[in-house]
Amino acid sequence: MDFALDEELRMFQKMFRDFAQNEIAPLAETLDREERPPLETLKLAAEQGFLGAPFPEEYGGSEIGTIGYCMMLEELGKVCMSTAMIIEVHTSVATMCIYLDGTEEQKQTFLEPLALGEKIGSFALTEPGAGSDAAALQTTAVRDGDDYVLNGNKIWIINGSIAETFVVFAKTEPAKKQERGAWGITAFIVEKDTPGFTVGRNEKMTGLHGIPVTTLFFDDCRVPAANVLGGEEKLNQGFATAMKALDYGRLGVGAVCLGVAQGALEAGVQFACEREQFGGPIALKQAIQNFIADTATEIEALRYLVYHTAWLVDQGQKYTKEASMVKLFGSEVADRAVNCMLQTHGGYGYIKDYPIERMYRDARVSRIFEGTNEIQRFIIAADILGEKGLKIRP
């Protein structure tokens, strides 16, 4: 088993690290304070090919593979979770839907500008009554001539106010169901200027102040039939597209969480070596040493889980269970890491002068979005018990 990075991946890792430290880190506190997205940084990231990192060059991507993509998210997550998650959602779920199931014409029309970073993408699945039970969505799409007419609302949509291309899920056959999976849900590519489509205000959140999270409104929104993702042969099969993209997205979230945990550890170690109490640095105290040792151990375990799962993706193997494990473990490791390192800072960790305060607020939501950790536990258990012939329900 060879865990060594080849020369190309080491080169990419250095490029990602340098970009994160030089371009993203200096703005992280400003974005948090001003509650605005990092538009200037996203433009620079697009020029570096970050927004199309895992996609083929023929569609404007950088073609660095999933391992390289996770390296990028890890480095971005170390310094600014908001920036990392904007890029993760754009790439892992929104653009990935089009790459996985779009027609060739749709890939040329929509995927290429997204991969090049000329446009930002968003993924619109969640609704007021359809969170963990995503198949319970109520947004409808009814055929009318050459269009589908969409009506309904979406909530908690990341990138809502900065995106120009949205992958939206709506019911086209609400009465139909299949025994396995959800039937009657279709994915649509909706552009920002489509009549009848309105983006709501940015939500005020506890953390991730640099991410625009909005409600979307569809009021007799007319979408060309040509924008059915995958063509009309994929009609009523959009839920499968969403689940495939969310597998990749959960791996992406885990990679971001790996970076958040590593960034928190580095901040905690630095503070512990500089802060003096009882005649010496607090790093000499066993309680602080235990925080550091336990956090570092969990980070290493997460690192191997992230990159093993990324390797499975690049090998074309099934990885749904592993993606849920990455998301579950990654979000909890990040949460514990920032908590322990804030405690290491003592009172200083609870004021805005230190980055660990922002990290603490940002990390908490990772146990909720792209599938709550409770849902991840269900997915993992369902896979394992399914091998024994036992089917379970949430």
- Is residue 313's pLDDT more than 90? yes
Residues 272-291, mean pLDDT to the nearest whole number: 97
Pair 79, 358: CB distance under 8 Å:
no
- What tens digit of pLDDT does each residue of 101-120 get? 999 999 999 999 999 999 99
The full DSSP string for 319-342 is: -HHHHHHHHHHHHHHHHHHHHHHH
Q: Under CATH, what is the fold of the domain 7-115? A: Butyryl-Coa Dehydrogenase, subunit A; domain 1 (1.10.540)
| pLDDT more than 90, % of the chain | 94
- What tens digit of pLDDT does each residue of 8-41 get? 999 999 999 999 999 999 999 999 999 999 999 9
Respond yes or no: is residue 370 known to be catalytic.
yes
Q: How confident is the model at residue 178 (pLDDT cuts 50, 70, 90)?
A: very low
- Is residue 271's pLDDT more than 70? yes
Q: Tokens standing for 245?
A: 């993209």
Q: Is 163 left (phi over 0), alpha (psi -120 to 50) or beta?
A: beta
Burial of 179 (0-12, 13-18, 19+ CB in 10 A): exposed
3-state secondary structure of 155: strand
Chain mean pLDDT for the chain: 96
- What tens digit of pLDDT does each residue of 321-360 get? 999 999 999 999 999 999 999 999 999 999 999 999 999 9
Q: Per the residue annotation, which of 8, 34, 370, 374 is the catalytic one?
A: 370
The conformation of residue 237, written as its DSSP 8-state character, comes to: B
**What global pTM score does this model have?**
0.95
Q: Which top CATH class is 240-386?
A: mainly alpha
- What tens digit of pLDDT does each residue of 65-100 get? 999 999 999 999 999 999 999 999 999 999 999 999
Domain residue ranges of the chain, discontinuous segments joined by +: 7-115, 121-236, 240-386
Cα distance between residue 32 and residue 42, in whole Å: 16
Q: Tokens standing for 284?
A: 């000499």
Pair 245, 54: CB distance under 8 Å:
no
Closest CA to 151 of 229, 222, 214, 94: 222
Fold match, 121-236 / 240-386: no
Q: How confident is the model at residue 183 (pLDDT cuts 50, 70, 90)?
A: confident
Angle CA 67–14–251, to nearest 5: 25
Give the list of residues 6+ apart from residue 276 with CB closer than 8 angstroms, or none: 282
The conformation of residue 200, written as its DSSP 8-state character, comes to: -
Please give the pLDDT value at position 64: 96
> For domain 121-236, which architecture applies?
Beta Barrel (2.40)
Please give the pLDDT value at position 179: 42
